[in-house]
Amino acid sequence: MSTREAPALVVLAAGQARRYGGCKPLAPVGPGGEAVIDLLGSDAVAAGFGRIVFVLHPETGPAVRYHVERCWPGSVPVDFAEQPLPLGTVDAVLAARSTLDPERAFAVSNADDVYGEAAMAAAAEAVQARDDEHVLVAYALRSTVTTTDPVTRGICELDRRGYLTALTERRQVARSADGSSFTSGDGWQPEVLDGALLTSVNLWGFQPEIWSVLAGAMAASGLAVGAPVAGGASEGGPPRAEVLLPEVIAARVAAGEGLPVRVVATGSQLVGVTHATDLPAVTAELDRLVALGIRPGRLWDRAG
């Protein structure tokens, strides 16, 4: 896949990371102290993405940009966009719109998850395979929970053709100490979750038609930069409402409103950072994947 033909990857790096207490995209998790976004970027380039667009917050964005501009190879095309207020992941994707070709498919990922080259390749290839459907790369639940600390995971339901019919966010998902079982503490049923359940961790591939869907969702929400938020912020503070990408997609799919999302299952292991206490376990898991030959020990070998 040439750089000219390759899709862009939009990396959502404007989150406030309240549970983590710092800038998660720069967490030093790699075998050599590499940041999360270093591993993410290296995997994305090796998987066939031709350009990476970071969506940044005004407060943490300068540090992320400084790191990328000084630590990444100059051969990797990178752009930056800003999300001024924390209005959610739909607004974050829309913030990147001006940096993208409006007639080209693109992908979206978190900035605090290491998805792995194989999963990234699945997203890059699937989003270009057909121009009439969107794509969600899904993991087995057991492959997305690295530690015993609780996380939020989107549980997928599919039809017989492999298209998404429902996406349910389950919160406070935790695994047992031996990794044999998973439970959710959000009060919903079932409380015990099968480790084989297909799970969304925000690795999407979108066709250009998604722009009208996202813009419509933001307009319907009544949220806008510079506008007051009902029941929201104190004067000068951030709003307390967000429009979230999984919820918008799930609502459209459930309503049967012509939003075909094909689910592509991956056998990859997701390694993500949620809490600061996760770092030792995350680093150990990445070391294990390198030792097994699943992850490269040297980044950017395929950046050119």
For residue 256, the model assigns a pLDDT of 84
Q: Which domain holds residue 252?
A: 8-225+235-291
Per-residue pLDDT, 3: 40
28-55: average pLDDT: 96
* 230 assigned to some structural domain: no
- Alpha-carbon distances of 15 from 25, 87, 199, rounded to whole Å: 9, 10, 21
91 located within any domain: yes
Whether 3 is covered by a domain: the verdict is: no
Q: Angle at the Cα of 44 (from 150 to 5), degrees rounded to 5?
A: 140
Residue 63 confidence (pLDDT) above 80 = yes
Residue 188 has pLDDT above 90, yes or no: yes
296, part of any domain: no
Provide CB contacts within 8 A for 107, sequence distance 6+.
7, 8, 9, 10, 49, 123, 124, 127, 203, 204, 205, 206
More reliable by pLDDT, 166 or 176 = 166
Rounded Cα distance between 206 and 191, Å, is: 32
pLDDT at residue 163 in the model = 96
Q: Is 169's pLDDT higher than 60?
A: yes
CA distance 25 to 64: 7
Mean of pLDDT over the chain: 89
297 falls within a domain: no
How many folded domains does the chain comprise? 1
How far is Cα 241 from Cα 231, in angstroms, rounded to an integer?
9
Predicted pLDDT at 106 = 97
**299 domain-assigned:** no
Residues 222-264: tens digit of each pLDDT: 886 554 444 344 444 554 589 999 999 999 998 887 789 999 9
Q: Which of 201, 244, 188 is nearest to 221 (CA)?
A: 244
In a domain, 142, yes or no: yes
Q: So what's the pLDDT on residue 1?
A: 42
Tens-digit pLDDT profile for residues 276-290: 888 898 999 999 999
The average pLDDT across 71-94 equals 95
Check residue 45 and give its pLDDT. Answer: 96
Q: Is residue 247 part of a domain?
A: yes
Which CATH number fits the domain that encloses residue 208? 3.90.550.10
Q: Which run of H or of E encompasses 92?
A: helix 89-95
Check residue 224 and give its pLDDT. Answer: 66
Residue 140 sits at φ, ψ, to 5 deg, of: -70, 140
